[in-house]
């Protein structure tokens, strides 16, 4: 019996640790050959040495399990680096089939305290990084589709956050970048559908090095790799990676332009925004007084703290 991703190749960005590592390992277990990208930070031994970069550690781990993997060290927020990353996948495995955008950083601060550099760095890595890899992957798929005279196989899984959905007061840069990724995803889904490519976005909740200051440690749980034995940390990245594997698979061919929240043995499909109310002007256009007469009573009856943000997603749990 063949594996669902057998014969396919994938890129996972930010895969040296945390979510990206779990996702790269999952894709490999499902049969994909994987390009493991990471920025090239010091190894996990804490020695400060960079000779064994995290990306190569994960690639070696995949190969040790019998899979196929190569590492790529570089900043995907750099346009040319993203081009070389896609070229590496194509030259090594013959083609690219799956792109998982995961790389990111945090620079948390309230909007009135945030520096320009803190804003720019987060938007650059998250939003520009997602665009860069998506651009070069889409060029590859479009060219393949034209050569084949029809659709090809392509899957994009992007990474947003509940910080965008629910609003996060201390993360205006992160929430804005993650909201931008949702817009990028839905636009990409429509643009590439005719080529056989799907694009979806997940909002994962996981305990990783990047979120160490967000989620308190839970020492009674292990950080193992096999969910299902009742001892896995509810915020372990391994709760997220199976969904990425599914969205990357042929089984998810009809899943496109979707946003899913995932953590702790739970997946929630988030509905697109709906129009709550509509008002028409009595004349050709609105006046201030007419808008006051229509909108002020409408908002008077709504909860004072209710905004476009969907804070209820933070309460989602399995069961």
Residues noted as catalytic: 161, 174, 178
SS (H, E, C) 258-319: CEEEEECCEEEEECCCCCCCCCCCCCCCCCHHHHHHHHHHHHHCCCCCCCCCCHHHHHCCCC
The candidate with the shortest Cα–Cα distance to 237, out of 1, 11, 26, is: 26
End-to-end alpha carbon distance in the chain: 33
Q: Which residues contact 254 (CB under 8 A, 6 or more apart)?
A: none
Gap between the Cα atoms of 33 and 14, Å rounded: 16
Residue 185, SS3?
helix
CA–CA–CA angle 198, 201, 206 (5° rounding): 140
């Amino acid at each position: 019996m063949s594996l669902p991703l057998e014969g396919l190749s994938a890129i996972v960005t930010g895969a040296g640790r945390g979510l990206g590592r779990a996702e790269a390992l999952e894709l490999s277990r499902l049969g994909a050959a994987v390009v493991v990208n990471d920025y090239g930070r010091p190894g996990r031994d804490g020695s400060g040495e960079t000779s064994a970069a995290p990306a190569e550690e994960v690639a070696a781990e995949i190969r040790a399990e019998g899979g196929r993997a190569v590492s790529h060290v570089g900043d995907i927020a750099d346009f040319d680096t993203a081009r070389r990353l896609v070229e590496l996948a194509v030259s090594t495995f013959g083609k690219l089939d799956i792109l998982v955008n995961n790389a990111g950083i945090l620079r948390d601060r309230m909007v009135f305290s945030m520096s320009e550099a803190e804003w720019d760095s987060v938007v650059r890595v998250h939003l520009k990084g997602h665009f860069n890899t998506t651009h070069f992957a889409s060029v590859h798929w479009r060219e393949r589709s034209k050569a084949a005279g029809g659709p090809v196989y392509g899957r994009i899984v992007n990474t947003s956050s509940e910080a965008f959905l629910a609003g996060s007061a201390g993360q205006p840069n992160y929430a804005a970048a993650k909201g931008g990724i949702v817009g990028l995803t839905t636009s990409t889904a429509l643009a590439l559908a005719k080529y056989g490519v799907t694009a979806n976005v997940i909002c994962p909740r996981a305990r990783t090095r990047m979120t160490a200051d967000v989620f308190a440690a839970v020492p009674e749980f292990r950080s193992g790799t096999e969910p299902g034995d009742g001892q896995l940390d509810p915020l372990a990245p391994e709760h997220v990676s199976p969904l990425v594997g599914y969205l990357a698979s042929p089984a998810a061919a009809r899943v496109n332009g979707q946003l899913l929240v995932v953590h702790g043995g739970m997946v929630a499909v988030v509905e697109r925004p709906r129009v709550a109310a509509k008002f028409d002007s009595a004349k050709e256009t609105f006046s201030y007084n007419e808008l006051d007469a229509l909108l002020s009573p409408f908002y008077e009856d709504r909860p004072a703290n209710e905004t476009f943000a969907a804070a209820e997603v933070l309460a989602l749990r399995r069961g």
